Amino acid sequence: MHLGSPPARTSLTVLALVAAILALVLGGAGSAFAHAGLRGSDPAEGSVLATAPKQVTLTFTESVGFSDDSLRVLSPENARVNPRPAQHVDGKDNTARVELSDKLAQGTYTVAWRVVSADGHPISGAFIFSIGKPSGTAAVVATDSLEDTAAARLYGFLRHVAYSGLALLVGAAAFVLLCWPTAAAVRPVRRLLTVGWAALVVSTVALLLLRGPYETAGSLTSAFDLSQLGRTVTGRPGIALVVRLGLLASAAVLLRRQALRLDRHEDGTTPGDLGTRVRVVGAALALALAFTWAGAEHASAGIQVPLAVPVAVLHLLAMGVWLGGLITLAIVLRRRAPGGGDVPASAIGRFSTVAFTAIAVLVGTGMYQSWRQVGSWEALSTTSYGRILAVKLAAVVLVLAVAFFSRRWADRLDHEALPAAEERQAVPEPARVRVVETVGAPSAPLASVADSTPDGPAGGEPGDGTEPPALGTEVHRRRLRRTVAVEAVLGVVVLAITTLLTGTQPSRAANGAPTAAATASEPQAKVVTVPFDMGTANQKGAVQITLEPGRVGENTVEAVVYTADGGFATVPELRLTLTQDALGIGPLDAKLKNQKGYWATYDLQLPMAGAWTLNITVRTTDIDQVTVRETIRIT
């Protein structure tokens, strides 16, 4: 199929490039939280309560799911004080509540949470509150990244395998159905379909088993916990994986029937028409398979879900048709067609048109998804999702550049094939001549004489491989093979980056819920206890300093002085200054004020992140004072 003149195709390519870049310019109106974030809590983060609460309630920006250990409340001694698992509040899916034990002691408590957001990705965080007065705490909260467990790393790898399997299965099938039906008889193409299907099946089963450990940060051995697997298959991601396995079973039946149909053609040819029914069923299976991703990941949460889900389905299918088709074309370009000939230039031309359409769909759907998940220029450099997306954009630009050359060689092959076909059709049927056998002389081979023409021996039938291709055609085929191989490799890189994006918190969610601490797993306050000793028995003790939230910007500081035996101490003066020696900043005076039992300030501004030195001066009498120091890290 002819693609048009090179200038026209060049203009279309430039337009596609511009559209891909403009996808990142669009700013969003309104919030979208594909990953949930913590909107608020009761008790509030860092609060000091006069009496013990009966329960702890968390409110998220989106609906969340949880397991028995999703919400833990830990005492200052690191003992769990919520006897029962979390429940939703009044049927609201964006809430989680746990009841607390009776008679809670005074001190600082840690709330650690890990839930699953609506798009299927786990998020976690922690914060503290105090009863009576702040205290030291021995609570242990994991500080590893959400993706730093063995189950999470393996889950991420298998997700990439699943995307690759989808690309191979959809792309190879589309190449056969839309571009060259004869390719269904090429053994490497049939193997490619089998590999894509097998990769999808194996990865889907493994993802189903690992879903529980991935959500709960459990060990790999817990993948075979039947109770955990039962909870997995009742959640949205688990249901999507089970449906995917059912669709793959249907795809296996369809592929097997077509393989048997081809095997009945003993001469190695294929039916000229695979049938409308096969195409319709194949397209329906591909759409349904893509929906098992779109219906359970980023597109299924946030704004405009009814539009985002079909857009995500189209994006996935376009990726499969383009990348899987490229790999299929790279294989058939290095193999002889059934019957011994080269891949027809018309088939290459048809794939060039299909691939260009797929890229146009990828660009259009990518524009929408970029707007929906990023929303601003600043997010490209300030969020992990934005930075990864920028890398993907650079890779896509390279792909489009290489694709331009691939279409250029495909177009030249198509142009050269048309005159060649017309010339073959114009050659008259060679006339047969009578052969006179001479007595005593060897006779000429009948075939060579009968098939000869005045201009020399005639070539074989068109497309049977006996007629050597023109020099220019062979050069173009060789160049096409190279550019297609490079384009396929770059496509695999883009697929890997896309897989990484699916497990990264979208920029809108990161910027839209600044208090969520979605990626933080340590308490949102810094507490240090610094001992002091003035040399006498009644002038020993410790000062506990609490900085909340312990980050750059405005902080609340509370300081409590304890005696050597752990009781409260009142002192006439307590001063706190902070310095950052590495950058020569400070001392910054916290200007603590006596709050009748403890010292505090509520507007301490910390301008830089890093290690800060706390200089604490304690005066116990008119003439006795001591200065102690401790280092704290501000983020």
- Percent of all residues in the chain with a pLDDT value above 70, rounded to a whole number: 71
| Kind of pairing between the strands at 55-60 and 625-634 | unpaired
Residue 120 and residue 164 share a domain: no
Query: Residue 184 above 70 pLDDT?
Result: yes
DSSP of 420-481, one letter per residue? HHHHHHHSPPPPP---PPPTTSPPPPHHHHHTEETTEE---STTSS-SPPPHHHHHHHHHHH
Which range of residues forms the domain containing residue 105?
Answer: 31-147+506-524
Which of the residue ranges 7-16, 149-158, 241-250, 615-624 has the most confident prediction, judged by mean pLDDT?
241-250
Domain membership of residue 435 (yes or no) is no
245 band by pLDDT with thresholds 50, 70 and 90? very high
pLDDT confidence of residue 31: 33
473 band by pLDDT with thresholds 50, 70 and 90? low
The token pair at 467 is 């007629």
Q: Which strand ranges, in their side-by-side order, compose the sheet holding 38-42? A: 38-42, 55-60, 92-99, 87-89
Kindly state the helix (H) or strand (E) to which residue 340 belongs, with its residue range: none
531 band by pLDDT with thresholds 50, 70 and 90? confident
Residue 261 and residue 130 share a domain: no
453-478 mean pLDDT: 47
462 band by pLDDT with thresholds 50, 70 and 90? very low
139-149 pLDDT per residue, tens: 666 544 555 67
Tokens 């021996």 -> residue: 457
> Does residue 397 contact residue 14 with C-beta atoms inside 8 Å?
no
Residue 290 and residue 182 share a domain: yes
What is the amino acid identity at position 591? K
The pTM score is: 0.61
515 band by pLDDT with thresholds 50, 70 and 90? very low
Residue 392 and residue 243 share a domain: yes
pLDDT confidence of residue 25: 34
Tally Cβ neighbours within 10 Å of residue 110: 22
Query: Residue 179 above 60 pLDDT?
Result: yes
Query: Residue 418 above 60 pLDDT?
Result: no
CA 244 to chain centre: 19
70 band by pLDDT with thresholds 50, 70 and 90? confident
Query: Residue 464 above 60 pLDDT?
Result: no
CATH classification of the domain holding 576? 2.60.40.3340
Residue 155 and residue 226 share a domain: yes
pLDDT confidence of residue 415: 63
Cα-based distances in Å from 316 to 290, 401, 419: 6, 21, 38
Domain membership of residue 554 (yes or no) is yes
Residue 370 and residue 263 share a domain: yes
CB within 8 A of 399, min separation 6: which ones?
487, 490, 491, 494
DSSP 3-state of 99? strand
269-325 pLDDT per residue, tens: 444 456 688 888 999 999 999 999 988 876 777 677 788 889 999 999 999 998 898
> Does residue 575 contact residue 592 with C-beta atoms inside 8 Å?
yes
How many domains does the chain contain in total? 3
392-408 mean pLDDT: 76
- Percent of all residues in the chain with a pLDDT value above 90, rounded to a whole number: 14
430-454 mean pLDDT: 41
488-499 mean pLDDT: 74
Domain membership of residue 271 (yes or no) is yes
11 band by pLDDT with thresholds 50, 70 and 90? very low
- Lowest average pLDDT, out of 20-34, 486-500, 572-586, goes to 20-34
Rounded CA gap, 131 and 50, in Å? 6
pLDDT confidence of residue 120: 77
pLDDT confidence of residue 242: 95
Rounded CA gap, 496 and 492, in Å? 6
Residue 559 and residue 420 share a domain: no
Domain membership of residue 440 (yes or no) is no
Query: Residue 384 above 90 pLDDT?
Result: no
pLDDT confidence of residue 24: 34
The token pair at 627 is 């200065």
Which of the residue ranges 26-35, 362-371, 384-393, 516-525 has the most confident prediction, judged by mean pLDDT?
362-371
Query: Residue 474 above 50 pLDDT?
Result: yes
85-110 pLDDT per residue, tens: 889 998 888 899 999 998 898 888 99
> Does residue 505 contact residue 38 with C-beta atoms inside 8 Å?
no
Residue 359 and residue 262 share a domain: yes
Rounded CA gap, 87 and 586, in Å? 47
Tally Cβ neighbours within 10 Å of residue 91: 7
479-504 mean pLDDT: 73
Q: What are phi and psi of 528, to 5 degrees?
A: -130, 145
Domain membership of residue 557 (yes or no) is yes
Tokens 């650690």 -> residue: 112
- Lowest average pLDDT, out of 92-96, 120-124, 298-302, 618-622, goes to 298-302
235 band by pLDDT with thresholds 50, 70 and 90? confident
169 band by pLDDT with thresholds 50, 70 and 90? very high
Query: Residue 193 above 90 pLDDT?
Result: yes
With b meaning 16 or more CB within 10 Å and e meaning fewer, what string describes 425-456? eeeeeeeeeeeeeeeeeeeeeeeeeeebeeee
Residue 465 and residue 489 share a domain: yes
Query: Residue 379 above 70 pLDDT?
Result: no
CB within 8 A of 483, min separation 6: which ones?
402, 405, 406, 409
Q: What are phi and psi of 496, to 5 degrees?
A: -65, -40
The token pair at 186 is 């090429």
Domain membership of residue 404 (yes or no) is yes
The token pair at 489 is 């490799």
pLDDT confidence of residue 27: 32
169-179 mean pLDDT: 91
Query: pLDDT: is 400 or 45 the higher one?
Result: 45
pLDDT confidence of residue 417: 54
Domain membership of residue 178 (yes or no) is yes
CATH classification of the domain holding 101? 2.60.40.1220
Query: Residue 335 above 70 pLDDT?
Result: no
Residue 239 and residue 211 share a domain: yes
Residue 322 and residue 376 share a domain: yes
Torsion sign (Cα): 370, 372, 373, 374: positive
The token pair at 57 is 């309630």
Give the CA angle between residues 408, 410, 411 to the nearest 5°. 65
Average pLDDT of the chain to the nearest whole number: 75
Which of the residue ranges 94-108, 338-352, 438-452 has the most confident prediction, judged by mean pLDDT?
94-108
The token pair at 434 is 């009578």
Residue 193 and residue 322 share a domain: yes
Domain membership of residue 12 (yes or no) is yes
Q: Which residue, 492, 524, 556, sits at the end of a domain?
A: 524
pLDDT confidence of residue 400: 76
